[in-house]
Amino acid sequence: MAFWLFKSEPDAFGIDDLASRPNKTEPWDGVRNYQARNFLRDKVKKGDFVFFYHSSCKDVGIAGVATIVREAYPDESQFEPESRYYDPKATPEAPRWFCVDVQFVEKFDQVLSLQAIKAMSEITQLGVVKKGQRLSVMPVETDEWQLLYKSATGIDFSS
DNA sequence: GCCAACGTTGGC
DNA sequence: GCCAACGTTGGC
């Protein structure tokens, strides 16, 4: 079991949107960066946990937790010419982009802000605090997950 | 809206 | 394979 951080712009799709979906589940599609794609395709497994991060908005930071309920499968939007995620070089026989399904677990009472995360001296590996890491899908070290979760909720994380 | 930091593209 | 130009990301 592993831990991840997924970024999304809440104006487009935020944690409240995930919570209101049928089964509180939604495909995490539209990832169009190869390094992030490789994580999704090869490393993200069913049962893994995800910090749902809100970017480019008023309250930037970790908004809550989700879990992986379906592992990598081809992202349909790459085949749809009208989609903003359309990729003319991708075919169903040779898909280039993948998605996973995520399910809502919990929303934090308040967003664990980027500012607060940066202020935690123990958090040194997380991509959002490191210079030049703008992946939309990134791994989270287990010990840093525990610290961040405790900081956000006041309780120890347990699956 | 600014702009730094990346990633991708394409000519050579 | 290099690298300049261009597009995108994302905090501020």
- The model's pLDDT over A9-39, given as tens digits with 9 standing for 90+, comes to 999 999 999 999 999 999 999 999 999 999 9
* A37 Cβ within 7 A of any nucleic strand C atom: no
pLDDT digits 0-9 by tens, A84-104: 898 888 888 889 999 999 999
Measure A132 CA to B4 C1' (Å). Answer: 10
Measure A3 CA to C8 C1' (Å). Answer: 26
Q: In whole angstroms, what is the distance from residue A159 CA to residue A153 CA?
A: 14
Task: Go through the domains of chain A in sequence order and give each one's CATH number.
Answer: 3-153 (3.10.590.10)
Least confident of A20-24, A69-73, A155-159: A155-159
Residues in a beta bridge with A51: A5, A65
State the Rg of chain A over Cα: 15
Q: Are strands A49-54 and A3-8 parallel, antiparallel or unpaired?
A: parallel
User: Closest nucleotide (CA of A132 to C1')?
Assistant: B5
Q: In whole angstroms, what is the distance from residue A68 CA to residue A50 CA?
A: 8
Measure A151 CA to B6 C1' (Å). Answer: 30
Chain B bases under 7 Å from protein CB? 5-8
A149 close to A49: Cβ distance less than 8 angstroms: no
